[in-house]
């Protein structure tokens, strides 16, 4: 897969990183309107009792706002909620101590823009995973992409079934809670549980298609 176009997401899922892993070049969409109830401002982690959604509150008041102009609402104390939830879920995971401090620092960095926070978290996770795929950002919004670009925008979505991702087949890995493997959680789940083996799990989750 040569060039991939995908939206910005908050602490993206395993499928998101598996896609980046198999791409030669990735463009993050920065010129789209923010879409509610998507992974653009939320992620999912695994707790002792269930999967838990963590959402970053944003200032949009129902208006259409370009994603890289969207600001975070710090009136709500979401940072404490997110970090306490992450810490409670993964403090006993094998690699939590190894990766947690930089993630915590970024969550509490008071970054004004959701797009910038997402990029900062994406960058540190790519570094942890040792993925060096070049990342760039769109300069304008194109409803239809040029030939040779795989348009993955909104493919990884809370309301869409994983089976719709023809290029992804979740490879099971160790999870600290439960007997049943939970697919496609935030990359935090894979990093904290598998550490240096996380990249191998991503690569084993890739389904290569000739037309991609």
Whole-number pLDDT of residue 181: 93
Asked if residue 83 is part of any domain, the answer here is yes
Percent of the chain clearing pLDDT 90 (strictly above): 88
Q: Does 65 score more than 70 pLDDT?
A: yes
Asked if residue 12 is part of any domain, the answer here is yes
**Mind giving me the DSSP string for 134-187?**
-EEE-SS--SSPPTTEEE-TTTS-TTS-GGG-TTB-PPP---SS-SSPPPS-BH
Average pLDDT estimate for 33-51:
95
* pLDDT tens-place string over residues 87-119: 999 999 999 999 999 999 999 999 999 999 999
User: Which range marks the domain in which residue 143 is found?
Assistant: 3-204
Whole-number pLDDT of residue 119: 98
DSSP secondary-structure letter at 195?
G
Asked if residue 74 is part of any domain, the answer here is yes
- Judge contact between 145 and 5, C-beta under 8 A: yes
Asked if residue 91 is part of any domain, the answer here is yes
Q: Which residue has the tokens 């690699």?
A: 95
- Distance, CA of 52 to CA of 147 (rounded, Å): 38
Distances in Å between the Cα of 96 and the Cα atoms of 3, 34, 93, 184 are 32, 31, 5, 18
Asked if residue 209 is part of any domain, the answer here is no
Q: Which residue has the tokens 């950002």?
A: 137
Percent of the chain clearing pLDDT 70 (strictly above): 97
Most confident range (mean pLDDT) of 10-19, 176-185, 199-208 is 10-19
Number of domains observed in the structure of the chain: 1
Asked if residue 49 is part of any domain, the answer here is yes
Asked if residue 81 is part of any domain, the answer here is yes
- Distance, CA of 102 to CA of 184 (rounded, Å): 22
- What confidence tier does 61 reach under pLDDT thresholds 50, 70, 90? confident
The average confidence (pLDDT) of the chain is: 94
Cβ-in-10-Å burial (0-12, 13-18, 19+) of 154 comes to middle
* pLDDT tens-place string over residues 138-196: 999 999 999 999 999 999 999 999 989 988 999 999 999 877 899 999 999 999 999 99
Asked if residue 211 is part of any domain, the answer here is no
């Amino acid at each position: 897969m040569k060039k991939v176009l995908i939206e910005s997401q908050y602490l993206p899922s395993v499928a998101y990183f598996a896609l980046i892993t198999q791409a030669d070049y990735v463009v993050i969409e920065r010129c789209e309107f923010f879409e509610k109830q998507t992974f653009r401002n939320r992620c999912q982690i695994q707790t002792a009792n269930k999967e838990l959604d963590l959402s970053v509150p944003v200032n949009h008041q129902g208006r259409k706002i370009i994603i890289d102009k969207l600001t975070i609402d710090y009136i709500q104390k979401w940072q404490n909620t997110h970090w306490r939830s992450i810490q409670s879920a993964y403090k006993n995971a094998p690699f939590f101590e190894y990766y947690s401090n930089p993630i915590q620092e970024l969550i509490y960095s008071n970054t004004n823009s959701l797009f910038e926070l997402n990029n900062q978290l994406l960058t540190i996770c790519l570094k942890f995973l040792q993925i060096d795929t070049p990342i760039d950002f769109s300069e304008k919004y194109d409803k239809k992409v040029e030939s040779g670009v795989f348009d993955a925008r909104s493919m990884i979505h809370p309301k869409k079934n994983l089976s719709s991702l023809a290029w992804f087949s979740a490879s099971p890995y160790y999870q600290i809670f439960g007997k049943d493997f939970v697919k496609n959680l935030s990359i935090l789940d894979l990093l904290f549980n598998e550490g240096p083996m996380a990249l191998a799990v991503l690569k084993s989750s890739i389904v290569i298609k000739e037309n991609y």
